[in-house]
């Protein structure tokens, strides 16, 4: 399957790190969110950014009852295009 990315003048999808955030709830449903952050230059910076994003999401859903599992994963820009986020 081939995806085409349309780059709008002044933007560049390759300069962003894209993340998929999955929140599994106790009632069996899964919420999927997407986030973009500026791309880091080093592996250590990418690890820190990933951990910071996880902590931000946990702080945001701390008061919400019924969530069981949180998954944060880096994804290619094509997935955001396919999901209609971009």
The reported pLDDT for the residue numbered 3 is 47
Q: Do 21 and 77 meet the contact criterion of CB atoms below 8 Å apart?
A: no
Length reported for the chain: 86
The reported pLDDT for the residue numbered 1 is 47
Does a structural domain hold residue 59? Answer: yes
The reported pLDDT for the residue numbered 63 is 87
**Average pLDDT per 10 consecutive residues for the chain, totaling 86 residues:** 49 76 91 90 93 93 88 89 77
Considering its fold, how many domains does the chain have in total?
1
Does a structural domain hold residue 5? Answer: no
Does a structural domain hold residue 27? Answer: yes
Does a structural domain hold residue 2? Answer: no
End-to-end alpha carbon distance in the chain: 18
Does a structural domain hold residue 47? Answer: yes
pTM of the model: 0.75
């Amino acid at each position: 399957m081939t995806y085409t990315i349309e780059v709008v003048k002044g933007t560049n999808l390759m300069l962003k790190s894209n993340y998929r955030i999955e929140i599994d709830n106790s009632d069996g449903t899964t919420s999927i969110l997407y986030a973009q952050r500026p791309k880091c230059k080093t592996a250590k910076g990418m690890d820190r950014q990933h951990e910071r994003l996880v902590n931000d999401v946990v702080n945001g859903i701390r008061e919400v009852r019924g969530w069981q599992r949180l998954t944060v994963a880096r994804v290619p820009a094509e997935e955001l295009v396919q999901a209609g986020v971009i």
